[in-house]
């Protein structure tokens, strides 16, 4: 079922011949997406998925089916020397009708006022159509830079968002010129940092080199604007992957989420949960990222990666292939497609797959490392040893991250456990980020109880789920402070995920989202909310029903149709709970509020 408070903003069409206006159109689209994402009750499709439809002719039905939104915005921009005409229209994806269209004729110099004006206008019209939204007086903060400098900034960002080496470097150079002209403008520092981090994460640059180049720009951005969502997200990444401090990483990620929910923040929290070995919770957060950005290749890759870690190789492969369909240049999926084949008993198929890889995958050791893993599994000793020797030659090059990873995995497949531990120790001493993902690796099962391995993982991740002493659950399960803490977390989860809309939701399902045993959650509901599970969930469903049943678009539906849309699956339960909570029948409520 599609949430009525969901929207996508498609890339605005450049109606001018000047390529410079293309940067402005993309920048305007991004700014409106970011502005609307600040409205807490609204689910806004992220940039990657919106821009997937750039220069494509699509129907309302296609947008509804592919982006799972009730509404979308499309528009165009025509710019002359002294005049800018922006046309914006809002389309209902279910009924396929334009319920408003507006044209803005403005001075191109007033770019920031234009962005805020259009964002607020969209938000107000959306509120009229779908129901109450809390909207701030301003959604786009003014930026103290000259318009021509801001346009250059948009140009630089346009190139780095292409995510390949050549365009990233071109974008970085443009953004450096912007910094020279406006040294107190925080955005270009954040975007240069983003460009380097992306290249390091994607394997285009060695991770240590990329992070080292990125850090000065992030530090300057934090000095200029420490409280932006993007600043907090970057701090979260640094605390996890560079400082190995998960507690601080979570704090920064949650702050970013409070400021502006976005798919990359949910993905980041999913990464952190993976490091801890909390794979079910990681999948929950990853699904939220996919909901907001279903066309982000990295989101599909990560879902496949999580299923690989859960040893569900059959489920993992389609997600990994989907990631490659969306972005054939993405470096990670080929590694895990081949490994999934290998670990599911298809060693020859895996060898054929790795041997057929071409292009960028050859350069990042995927082909060499993958083939060597297959030779280890197939007991082709001579070929395996040749591969190991070649991989070792890369330990003193910029490819040492991948070389260590494949050497560890190959030796694990060979049963050389002492060599595996020695290699992991060397990688730990070099503080390579791959250490953080060794904990949940299914290939490393044979060494996970080895004392040296446990010591290394616990030094890197003191809160590691697999190696911490298991909690001995108390008779009195939660104390007062814990009840207060988890009650707040649970309320936020219910708001973010709307779990109550699932008619088959169970106490165990709810417990998986908050990472507590079901017994604890049962006690939490009783002591924190004075409700049992059914009362707690059905209270949300009743509130959802009360909001939905008064919407103009639902006037033609029966009361029970709206109740079912609100998460109920029984007429008796619905009527009983409604009377219990509201003191009147649903019919009486509807009549008194019509």
Displacement of CA 241 from its chain's centroid (Å):
17
In a domain, 141, yes or no: no
Classify residue 552 by its DSSP letter: G
At CA 145, angle to CA 142 and CA 148, rounded to 5? 115
Q: Lowest mean pLDDT: which of 390-404, 460-474, 481-495?
A: 460-474
In a domain, 403, yes or no: yes
- Co-location of 368 and 278 in the same domain: yes
Summarised one tens digit per residue, pLDDT across range 575-593 is 988 998 888 999 998 888 8
Domain with 121 in it: what CATH number?
3.40.50.10610
- Co-location of 118 and 168 in the same domain: no
Nearest to 473 by CA among 509, 508, 516, 514: 516
Place of tokens 């520092």: 189
Label residue 474 by pLDDT band (50, 70, 90): very low
- Co-location of 451 and 360 in the same domain: yes
- Co-location of 171 and 262 in the same domain: no
The pLDDT mean for the chain works out to 86
With a cut of 70, say whether residue 162 has pLDDT above it: yes
Region 391-403 average pLDDT: 89
Domain with 157 in it: what CATH number?
1.25.40
- Co-location of 20 and 96 in the same domain: yes
- Co-location of 81 and 159 in the same domain: no
Of 194, 226, 258, which residue sits at a domain end? 226
Task: Say how many C-beta atoms besides its own lie within 10 A of residue 216's C-beta.
Answer: 12
The pLDDT of residue 37 is 86
The pLDDT of residue 471 is 43
Percent of the chain predicted with pLDDT > 70: 96
In a domain, 533, yes or no: yes
- Co-location of 370 and 269 in the same domain: yes
- Co-location of 351 and 389 in the same domain: yes
Label residue 477 by pLDDT band (50, 70, 90): low
Alpha-carbon dihedral 329, 207, 272, 264, rounded to 10 degrees:
-50
Summarised one tens digit per residue, pLDDT across range 58-89 is 899 999 999 999 999 999 988 877 788 899 99
Label residue 171 by pLDDT band (50, 70, 90): very high
In a domain, 160, yes or no: yes
Of 99, 130, 161, which residue sits at a domain end? 130
What HEC string does 212-232 produce? HHHHHHHHHHHHHCCCCHHHH
Task: Say how many C-beta atoms besides its own lie within 10 A of residue 587's C-beta.
Answer: 11
- Co-location of 10 and 72 in the same domain: yes
In a domain, 325, yes or no: yes
Domain with 268 in it: what CATH number?
1.25.40.10
Summarised one tens digit per residue, pLDDT across range 319-361 is 999 999 998 878 889 999 999 999 999 999 999 999 998 765 5
CA distance 513 to 388: 42
Q: Lowest mean pLDDT: which of 144-148, 239-243, 461-465?
A: 461-465
In a domain, 266, yes or no: yes
Under 8 Å between Cβ of 54 and 295: no
The pLDDT of residue 209 is 82
Domain tally for the chain?
Answer: 4
Q: Lowest mean pLDDT: which of 145-149, 214-218, 412-416, 475-479?
A: 475-479
In a domain, 26, yes or no: yes
In a domain, 231, yes or no: no
Nearest to 551 by CA among 590, 578, 496: 590
Domain with 490 in it: what CATH number?
1.10.10.60
Phi, psi for residue 465 in degrees, rounded to 5: -65, -35
- Co-location of 28 and 78 in the same domain: yes
Task: Residue 88: give the domain boundaries.
Answer: 6-130
Of 156, 191, 226, which residue sits at a domain end? 226
- Co-location of 283 and 410 in the same domain: yes
Under 8 Å between Cβ of 416 and 447: no
- Co-location of 71 and 195 in the same domain: no
């Amino acid at each position: 079922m599609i949430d009525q408070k969901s929207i996508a903003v498609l890339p605005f069409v450049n109606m001018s011949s000047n390529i410079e206006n293309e940067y402005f159109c993309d920048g305007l689209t991004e700014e409106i997406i970011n502005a609307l994402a600040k409205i807490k009750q609204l689910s806004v499709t992220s940039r990657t998925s919106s821009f997937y439809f750039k220069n494509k002719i699509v129907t309302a039905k296609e947008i509804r089916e592919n982006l799972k939104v009730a509404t979308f915005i499309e528009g165009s921009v025509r710019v002359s020397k002294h005049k800018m005409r922006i046309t914006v229209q809002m389309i209902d994806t279910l009924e396929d009708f334009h319920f408003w269209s507006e044209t803005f004729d403005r001075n191109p110099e007033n770019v920031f006022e234009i962005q805020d004006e259009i964002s607020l206008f969209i938000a107000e019209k959306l509120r009229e159509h779908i129901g109450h939204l809390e909207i701030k007086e301003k959604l786009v903060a003014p930026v103290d830079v000259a318009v021509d400098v801001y346009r250059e900034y948009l140009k630089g960002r346009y190139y780095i968002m292409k995510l390949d080496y050549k365009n990233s470097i071109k974008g970085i150079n443009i953004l450096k010129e912007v910094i020279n002209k406006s040294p107190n403008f925080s955005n270009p520092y954040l975007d240069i940092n983003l460009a380097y981090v992306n290249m390091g994460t994607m394997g285009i640059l060695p991770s240590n080199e990329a992070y080292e180049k990125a850090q000065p720009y992030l530090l300057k951005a934090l000095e200029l604007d420490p409280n932006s969502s993007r600043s907090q997200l970057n701090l979260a990444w640094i605390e996890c992957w560079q400082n190995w401090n998960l507690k601080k990483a979570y704090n920064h990620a949650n702050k970013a989420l409070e400021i502006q929910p976005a798919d990359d923040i949910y993905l980041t929290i999913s990464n952190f949960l993976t490091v801890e070995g909390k794979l079910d919770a990681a999948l929950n957060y990853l699904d939220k990222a996919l909901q907001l950005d279903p066309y982000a290749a990295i989101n599909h890759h990560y879902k496949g990666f999580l299923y690989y870690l859960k040893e569900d190789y059959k489920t993992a492969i389609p997600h990994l292939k989907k990631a490659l369909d969306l972005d054939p240049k993405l470096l990670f999926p080929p590694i895990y497609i081949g490994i999934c084949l290998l670990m599911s008993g298809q060693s020859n198929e895996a060898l054929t797959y790795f041997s057929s890889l071409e292009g960028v995958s050859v350069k990042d050791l995927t082909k060499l490392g993958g083939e060597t893993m297959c030779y280890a599994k197939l007991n082709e000793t001579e070929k395996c040893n040749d591969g190991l020797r070649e991989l070792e030659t890369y330990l003193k090059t910029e490819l040492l991250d991948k070389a260590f990873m494949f050497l560890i995995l190959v030796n694990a497949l060979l049963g050389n456990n002492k060599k595996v531990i020695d290699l992991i120790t060397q990688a730990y001493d070099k503080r390579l980020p791959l250490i953080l993902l060794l904990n949940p690796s299914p290939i490393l099962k044979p060494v996970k109880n080895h004392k040296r391995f446990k010591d290394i993982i616990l030094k890197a991740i003191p809160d590691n789920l697999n190696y911490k002493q298991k909690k001995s659950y108390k008779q009195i399960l939660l104390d007062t402070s814990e009840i207060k803490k988890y009650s707040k977390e649970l309320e936020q989860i219910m708001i973010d995920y709307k779990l109550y809309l699932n008619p088959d939701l169970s106490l165990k399902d709810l417990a998986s989202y908050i990472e507590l045993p079901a017994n604890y959650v049962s006690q939490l509901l009783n002591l924190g909310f004075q409700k049992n599970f059914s009362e707690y969930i059905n209270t949300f469903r009743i509130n959802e029903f009360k909001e939905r049943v008064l919407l103009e678009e639902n006037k033609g539906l029966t009361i029970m149709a709206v109740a079912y849309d609100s998460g109920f699956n029984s007429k008796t339960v619905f009527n009983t709970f409604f009377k219990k909570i509201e003191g009147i029948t649903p019919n009486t409520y509807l009549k008194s509020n019509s």
